[in-house]
Amino acid sequence: MRIRKESAERLAATIVAVLKSAAQPVECDKGSDAFCYTVRSRSLKLRSIVLSRAALQRLLTATNGVVKIEYLKRDLLRAAMHRVEYRYPRRRRKASIVRQPAIEGSESASPAR
């Protein structure tokens, strides 16, 4: 099921509406293709929300977009208590390669028969 024609800006406002009136739109950095909000509430740890315009556009056309939007709302509510910044989509961290020291005598994994 696809969502009716709706703009990414209205979708962003719908998602942050779960925080009641605590989230206020602000200007993002120049060149940034995102919607930015500041959160002003003493009871919440969350201070900023950044939603990618391209990611929201993909949500609007996704067949399961309605479900994903509901998930985003719940995730935002959970993050409001624990995180300082909420980003969608989340930034990926590069996996660091951790090499474990070789153990002596472990060249043969199975005993010879």
Compute mean pLDDT per 10 residues along the chain, 113 residues long, and list them: 68 94 88 91 94 93 93 95 94 69 60 57
pLDDT at position 1, please?
Answer: 43
Measured torsion, CA atoms of residues 77, 16, 28, 25, in degrees rounded to the nearest 10: -130
Q: What is the token pair recorded at 64?
A: 């399961």
Nearest to 57 by CA among 68, 49, 47, 48: 68
Gap between the Cα atoms of 24 and 48, Å rounded: 9
The single residue listed with the structure tokens 């942050």 is: 16
pLDDT at position 59, please?
Answer: 93
SS3 16: helix
pLDDT at position 9, please?
Answer: 92
pLDDT at position 30, please?
Answer: 79
Tell me phi and psi for residue 76, to 5 degrees: -65, -40
Tell me phi and psi for residue 95, to 5 degrees: -70, 130
pTM of the predicted structure, to 2 decimals: 0.74
Gap between the Cα atoms of 52 and 49, Å rounded: 10
